[in-house]
Amino acid sequence: MRGFLNGRSFDMESVAPEERLPLAKPVAWTFSNTGAGMLMPHPMHVHGVRFRVIERDLASSPPSDLAEGIIDAGFKDTVLVFPGGRVKLLLTPTEPGLFLYHCHNLEHEDGGMMRNYLVS
């Protein structure tokens, strides 16, 4: 199994232009689970920064008992993105360096569903 984020697999040396973030400036990222790949929930984890969920699109409606338990308030480092849904985050990097973001499903992470991002 190969995992992708933004159509790219993991490459330790690769940092795409949208994965280069300015230090101490707010940046909005959107995780979307609407592609033709693995339509299952993906817990997306971002290393080196905390973020706030500013918008969630539950287009494909998770089971009601699960949806009722979602708490998007407060700072996060991981967010669950449901199949058919999108989650928009606001993050403000406070430390320079090379960091990783990835799906926290172990088999997805091991399959390459992760990317670097650079803060400078």
Residue type for position 23: L
Q: Count Cβ atoms within 10 A of the Cβ of residue 62 and give its class: 0-12 exposed, 13-18 middle, 19 or more buried.
A: middle
Q: Which two tokens stand for residue 59?
A: 């287009």
pLDDT of 47: 97
Q: Rounded distance, CA 94 to CA 72, Å?
A: 21
Identify whether the C-beta of residue 44 lies closer than 8 Å to the C-beta of residue 79. yes
For residues 110 and 1, is the Cβ–Cβ distance under 8 A?
no
pLDDT digits (tens, 9 = 90+) for 8-45: 778 888 898 899 999 999 999 999 888 766 678 899 99
Q: pTM to 2 decimals? A: 0.88
37's CB contacts (< 8 A; 6+ apart) are: 4
Neighbours of 16 (CB within 10 A): 15
What are the residue boundaries of the structural domains of the chain, listed by start?
17-119
Q: Which CATH superfamily is domain 17-119 in?
A: Cupredoxins -  blue copper proteins (2.60.40.420)
Whether 59 shows a pLDDT value over 80: the answer reads no
Token reading at 91:
């993050």
